[in-house]
Amino acid sequence: MAIDWREHGTLLTLRRHGENAAIVEAFTRDRGRHAGIVRGGTSRRLAPHLQPGAVLDLHWRARLEDHLGSFAVEPLRARAPAVLGDKLALAGLNAVTGLLAFALPEREPHPDLFDRSEALLDSLHESSWAHAYLLWELALLEELGHALDLSVCAVSGMTEGLAYVSPRTGRAVSKIGAGDWSDRLLPLPPCLLGEVPEDTSEILAGLRTTGHFLETQLAHHLGRPLPPARGRYVVALSRA
Amino acid sequence: MSKANADIEALIDLMARLPGLGPRSARRAVLHMIKKRALLMTPLADVLQNVAATARECLTCGNIAGSDTCDICASDKRATGEICVVEDVADLWAMERASVFKGRYHVLGGTLSALDAVGPEDLGIPRLIARVAAENITEVILAVGATVDGQTTAHYISGELEGRCTVTSLAQGVPIGGELDYLDDGTITAALKARKTF
């Protein structure tokens, strides 16, 4: 007897498979990152709808649970068309879908991260998006077991004047606690603690810190380099 | 199985690997060629051999040519100061079929990807930038796909060429013969954004 389920999900990646089919990876609330073959996925009828970020109604079927299985897809909502002409928003869409496809384990539900990612992808044109993206990267690290402890200084135990993050432990360090070691520590801009950023340079400083842990913790753990889309978003933001 | 039959089976297997053909249609095609041996099979074999010996990538634009420089790059008439950037040779051939563009091309051979490690060097983007300076190019037309990867590549190239020449892109919208009812939301959105005075 075939196994099947039906759920809404956001398309993360698509790879051609044979002449007309595609292997699609989608992020769903209850089943996490899940792959399946879409027959006719590269056809003229379906291909325009199967762009990263698209919300799909997915009906997955397979003979056995551990088979790749196939998706019957019904496009519900596209996100890409609205951002194709906006360099920064498009780079943001790529960074989010690229990091999710890269980092999430297959078939492991992450409902909180799903809700957060959906909200982020639905607000690509908002002026505060870069800050929301920075906090989303923090949440991604936390969800996957690499949380940063930014609540208290690891040296002095102080909760005030936190200005740095230890690149080794991911714990906050205050200005006083850092002493002569400050040039070896990563920046902890207030926007990383949830405060409204003063300018883009503050967000870029925060991205430098999250990027360090994405690279040294997450990517190192997975044994693969970070997707280039993340770096391209940082470059696009610095030039914006 | 005799040698002749084995050769025919091998031919069918190879033909079945071609795009658009499967084992059944490859079998029909091979049978047809055998029946029209003098008219089809022998000339086809000769041409295949010639193309296999001579076909290569144009060192300048990436088009498929019979020598190191394709006819388009070799022609002085095509030196209009315009370069049309396409993803693939198939796109270049599609543009040429339309016979509208009179300049030269640059074939990327793919697009930047969010996940795959396909970088600007793999797509010959530094070579494109060098061509813009060397060939006195005034306009680069980005004719890449209206997909996330295609437009990411377009934005990247546009950024790299900033201040060097005019960068334009193909319009997006309703295709000739298209009916709105059958169009996807993205195309309608793009068409509405790019509307013009009638």
Could you tell me the residue ranges of all domains in chain A?
3-78, 82-150+188-239
Q: Decide if A81 and B155 are in contact by the 8 Å CB cutoff.
A: no
CATH placement of domain B69-169 = 3.40.1360.10
Task: Write the residue in B119, B146, B148 that is nearest to A52 by C-beta.
Answer: B148
CB A41 within 8 A of CB A14: yes
Which residue, chain included where needed, has tokens 């041409």?
A: B47
Beta strand residue intervals within chain B, DSSP E: 56-57, 64-65, 82-86, 104-107, 139-143, 166-169
| Residue B189 forms contact with A (CB below 8 Å) | yes
Task: Write the residue in A48, A84, A232 that is nearest to B151 by C-beta.
Answer: A84
CB A233 within 8 A of CB A113: no
Query: Has residue B158 got a pLDDT over 70?
Result: yes
- All CATH 3.40.1360.10 domain ranges in chain B, comma separated: 69-169
Q: What is the DSSP secondary structure assignment for residue B69, as one 8-state letter?
A: S
Burial of A52 (0-12, 13-18, 19+ CB in 10 A): buried
Which chain B residue lies closest to A87 (C-alpha atoms)? B155
CATH T-level fold of A3-78? OB fold (Dihydrolipoamide Acetyltransferase, E2P) (2.40.50)
Interface test with B, best of A73, A94, A125 (most B CBs within 10 A): A94
Q: What are the C-alpha distances in Å from A149 to residues A55, A162, A165, A190?
A: 34, 11, 9, 14
pLDDT bracket for residue B63 (50, 70, 90)? very high
In whole angstroms, what is the distance from residue B92 CA to residue B78 CA? 14
- All CATH 1.10.8 domain ranges in chain B, comma separated: 3-54
pLDDT bracket for residue B35 (50, 70, 90)? very high
* CA dihedral sign, ordered A35, A41, A46, A48: positive
Q: What pLDDT sits at residue A158?
A: 83
Q: What is the DSSP secondary structure assignment for residue A154, as one 8-state letter?
A: T
**CATH 1.10.8 holds for B3-54:** yes
pLDDT in tens, chain A (240 residues): 679 999 999 999 999 898 889 999 999 999 999 999 999 988 888 888 899 999 999 999 999 988 999 999 999 998 998 898 899 999 999 999 999 999 999 999 999 999 999 999 999 989 899 999 999 999 999 999 999 999 988 888 888 889 999 999 999 999 888 888 888 999 999 999 989 999 999 999 999 999 999 999 999 999 999 999 999 999 999 988
Task: Write the residue in A48, A87, A90 that is nearest to B186 by C-beta.
Answer: A48
Query: Has residue B179 got a pLDDT over 90?
Result: no
Q: What pLDDT sits at residue A1?
A: 63
Q: What is the pTM of this model?
A: 0.88
